[in-house]
Every structure is written in structure tokens, then in C-alpha cells.
Amino acid sequence: MKIYKAYAKVNIFLKITGIRANYHEIISRFMRVDSLYDELSFVSKESEEFKIIGDFSCTTEQNTIYKAYIYLLDSLDEALSVSLQNLMQKYAVHVKKNIPAFAGLGGGSSDAATFLKMCNEVLHLGLSQNELAIVGLKVGADVPFFVYGFDSANVGGIGEVVEEFREPLLDFEVFTPKIEISTPKVYAVYRENFFAPIDGFKTNELKTTTSYDILKKMSIDEANDLFKPALQEYRELKNYYKQGYYFSGSGSSFFKVKEKEK
């Protein structure tokens, strides 16, 4: 069976622009990490229940792939819905996990997006990227970026606004401390103690600056509004921070651009 790659991402910058209901609106530059990806494939199985084979600590019902399946079923007409159910009765989703969980690298979102694209391709569902992104957004705010498959993009709103940003893909060194970080908790600490949304002028400046230039001129906490709240909530993070590294999402991963060998 064909193997599909579900790539990780890093947040070059992540700034809060405001609040919408219980969500924080953001502007962020997502960039794909070419060297880090999960591998997904369909494999035959004997029982008919939905099955994910892989190293996951959550239940099937909590898995983003299962959630993507349920939301995709809901979005299809009856005939296509039956085709999808038949597919998942015959095949399990096999996931070779390489992207660590709770790491700010988008592993779960990338798996969900890749699963949606697999179903669309195998079953010839004929859904556009926009239609898949709408389904994906119900699973999680980062899923649309992975559906579109851009190398780099400015992501706004609560994750639903994804605008391709054309620039060279950077080569990253990424390391992830074994600290399980809760994104909702980090956002709650941000709102309580660090709330300082940026304005439209700063947003536009960030959206038009290359990732390389941003990483050259901004410090780790200037680039990511969630670094200080994460540090306050998970104090052991400071033991892992090294000069010159940046913080992805709500953590716990740190990254930097690999130096080119001379």
C-alpha cells in the first residue's frame, strides 16, 4: 500500500492578535519540517471496527485521525459516506509515529490532514482543498495548514486563514524535551498574565518578512507569545533552553536553522 508522509511544522513566529469567543486569534508563520514526518498507510484487517495501528497514548476516540473520519463522514452524501465506511471496515490506518506528541510540532493535526487527503484520493471523493480544510478545522486549528501542504504560510484567525508565503524552505534542527505541555493551559496563563495583542501594523510587518530575517532579528520570547507563559507553567523548560533556539507553538519543542556546512 502507498505510504503518505505527514510532515511536522514549526512556528517561526506566533503572536496573539485578539480573542474570539473562547479562542485566541493569532498570526503565525508555519513552516514545514522536511526532515520530520509520520508515515501513514492503509493496511488490511480482519475485524470491522475502526482501527488505528500505532504508538499512541490516547484512545481511538480521542485520536485526531478518528475525529477526522467522523467529521468527514458527516460532510459526505449517503453514497460516499457508505464508501468511506466500507473502506474503514476493510482497512486499518497504520501510523509510524516519528513526530513527538505534545510538542508544538503539529503531529496530530498533520496525521488528521493526511488521513483526509488519503481518503479523498483513494475513494475519489472529489473534495477540494478548501472543502477538506473546512472538515479539518473541526478537528483542530492547525489542520488546514497541513491540508494545503504549503512549504510556508501565514496562518491567521483561529487557524482557518492560511495564506501561502513563498520563500525557501529552511533546514531545521529540532529537539523536544520529554515534557507534556497542555496548549489550553498555556493559553490560559497567557490570557491571565501576559495578554498583549499586537496591532495590524505589526501583523502586516511580520506577514511580509521572510522567516530567515525574523529568526535573525527576534529573540525567542519576541517571536513567540506563548514562550513566557509556557515557562511560567512548566518551569523545567528552562533547563532545556539553549541560546539561539526558538520555541514552536505552545511547546515543548525548540528549533533553530541548521548552519550550512562550509
List the catalytic residues. 9, 142
Residue 32's closest CA among 98, 107, 101?
A: 107
75 is in an annotated binding site: no
159 is in an annotated binding site: no
101 is in an annotated binding site: yes
Written as one letter, the residue type at 254 is: F
116 is in an annotated binding site: no
Query: Cβ(225)–Cβ(203) under 8 Å?
Result: no
106 is in an annotated binding site: yes
108 is in an annotated binding site: yes
User: Residue 42 is placed in which grid cell?
Assistant: 492503509
110 is in an annotated binding site: yes
**What is the 8-class DSSP label of residue 237?**
G
Query: Cβ(133)–Cβ(101) under 8 Å?
Result: no
How far is the first Cα of the chain from the last one, in angstroms, to the nearest whole number? 40
Alpha-carbon span 259 to 245, nearest angstrom: 12
For the chain, the C-alpha Rg in angstroms (whole number) is 19
156 is in an annotated binding site: no
Burial 191-230 (b: 16+ CB within 10 A, else e): eeeeeebbeeeebeebeebbbeebbeebebeebbbbbbbb
User: Residue 71 is placed in which grid cell?
Assistant: 467529521
Bridge partners, 91 (sequence order): 44
Residue 112's closest CA among 83, 90, 78, 135?
A: 135
What residue numbers does the annotated binding site for ATP cover? 100-110
